[in-house]
Homo-oligomer: A and B are copies of this chain.
């Protein structure tokens, strides 16, 4: 088993720094070892900084990004609850599915894939569904590359009494994201995108309004593995009774996340967001010179979704990139299959070297 050293420029996983891979291979501690608990506490504290939140209940769920989505849904939704989910791609569609599996009555607020939602559309949806208890929305729609502005939405949801739930899988650590300033009540992300850590953990944060909802539940959370009323005792010692063992945490993945977050904070969040912006602009200029058109109206910086040009062989181009250059880019997902390429500029991968290389490779393959 000798995995090749790919340059990961797809929708994630993103390139992992050697420092993170070395941390991953550190000696395994027990999940109740005082040393490990210190490492985990530091991870939670660094996650608070990266989420820009003071929420005590901020921790990595022991699963990949979709486990984080499910963690928030099972804890904040009870059977029969009305919720609104904004759907403009695969991940909004999935959030709707996940919430329905929790027994929610989901009202989908839809707009064409590649577009995003205005405050007016969101206000109208809330007005149409006065009983809605949650509004779920995707900041970084990985299937279309659309960037949904989040700032200001909480004014609408708070007036309405609904919780604001945000999917930040492809934005955390790469895009501006301010959980407290923006009034986000619950949020989930993944490690394998702009944090440049391998996949396997899903950072989440629950604010005070979300915790109050959790404490007021009438029914048991349907998932034992993701039940925050127990997880909070392990991760924060909160909820009464001190620190209590729940499940065996993924120890070595926690080391990797510790190192990845250390790197993020060494760079500084503002500098990191600025780097993602600059690299996106550099890539975008190059792709447009090549005649490639962006699909979303408002593109993410971390994920660049362009239309496969007329006459190009979608799978053939990706295969040549992989085999000749060792570069992975993403195919279109869902209804976009065969129609889109998704080029990631995430975390450790968002560099001049990588941007210029992928542009050179695409130029050779498309024009050669």
Contact = CB atoms under 8 A, between A and B. Distances in A.
A252 B1 CA distance: 12
Contact of A1 (B15, B198, B255, B322): B255
Given A224-B94, A225-B67, A199 B248 contact: yes
Oligomeric state, in number of copies? 2
Contact of A250 (B16, B198, B223): B198
A316 interface: no
Nearest to A219: B101
Interface residues of A: mostly helix, strand, loop or mixed?
Answer: loop
Select the residue from A30, A64, A220 with max chain B CB neighbours within 10 A: A30
Interface in A1-20: 1-6, 8, 10, 12-13, 15-16
Interface size class of A (residues with CB under 8 A): 35 or more
Given A31-B199, A35-B4, A62-B63, A251 B22 contact: no
A137 interface: no
B16 A28 contact: yes
Contacts of A245: 333
A185 interface: no
Contact of A27 (B21, B28, B63, B262): B21
19 contacts: A1-B259, A3-B39, A5-B27, A8-B28, A13-B28, A13-B31, A13-B251, A16-B27, A24-B24, A24-B25, A28-B192, A64-B248, A65-B248, A94-B224, A100-B220, A190-B248, A192-B251, A198-B250, A222-B222
